[in-house]
Amino acid sequence: MRIGKDNAKKFKTVVTTLKGYRDEVAIKVEEDYVRLSIIISDVAMGFWTFNKSFFEEFVPVIGTYTLKSDLFAKAITSVHKEGFEISILEAQIEFNGGNKKAKVSFFEGEERYPTPPEPASIVNVGYKDFADFIKTNEGLEESARFEVTDGTFRMFSKSRMMDVEETFDAQVDGTDSLSAYSFGYLSIIPKFKALFENVSIRFSTDYPLVLVCGDDDFEFKWLLGPRVENE
């Protein structure tokens, strides 16, 4: 499998970000995609799916391989500049950037890929606006409230000394919903601001949040359990 120069930068952004959230990354290789996943806890997990079209060359070795995230990040950082090849060997994955190579040992495992419930509300909004709200307000309170009322999407952050509310320019489908989610687990979102233009926000009252964004080549999905708050 080979990733070209431009997409290598995207791949590097994902891999180097993951090491700050989990010490292991699962790599699932199938006939038409490669998916990276991290399970932070029972209530927070992320999936990055790189479809066959993302690669310049795609000859998969089907399986699920788990790498140490810091070693994975170091390998990609060292070889990514002009694109690189990925080869799955007997007990290692080799990343070959031409004049630079890196091999990282793996162990085989299984991918955990849950199916979330159908959402009551589906909101499509600009990724930058959504990420900026999280980045600006994550220090004010432990959680952010997501609300859909009468076709309008708002987010709230409340603390003892300051309340913040933002109404988004968004396409909203479905019924009204209100739920809160941890800023700690949402903090990963601003790190991918340069990669995506829009995000689909899918949630129901006190049910898991699913964030989906990407295109035909590359999809990012973030699943997050609700933070049930006492009024």
CA–CA distance, 120 with 118 (Å, rounded to integer)? 7
Averaged over 188-217, what is the pLDDT? 95
Average pLDDT, the chain: 92
Residue 114 is predicted with a pLDDT of 86
Residue 19 is predicted with a pLDDT of 85
Q: In what order do the strands lie in the sheet with 92-96?
A: 2-3, 84-88, 92-96, 101-105
- Tell the CATH topology of 121-224: DNA Polymerase III; Chain A, domain 2 (3.10.150)
Element (H, E) at 186: helix 183-186
> Distance of CA 54 to CAs 33, 48, 57, 196, Å?
9, 12, 9, 15
Please state, for a pLDDT cut of 70, what percent of the chain lies above it.
98
pTM (2 d.p.):
0.91
CA–CA distance, 203 with 211 (Å, rounded to integer)? 9
CA–CA distance, 128 with 196 (Å, rounded to integer)? 8
Token digits for 129?
A: 């606006």
Residue-wise pLDDT tens digits, 9-21: 999 999 999 888 8
The ranges of the chain annotated as CATH 3.10.150.10 are 2-108, 121-224
- Tell the CATH topology of 2-108: DNA Polymerase III; Chain A, domain 2 (3.10.150)
Residue-wise pLDDT tens digits, 47-98: 999 999 999 999 999 999 999 999 999 999 999 988 999 999 999 999 999 8
Confidence of residue 231 (pLDDT cuts 50, 70, 90): very low
Residue-wise pLDDT tens digits, 37-60: 999 888 899 999 999 999 999 999
Closest CA to 12 of 135, 194, 199: 194
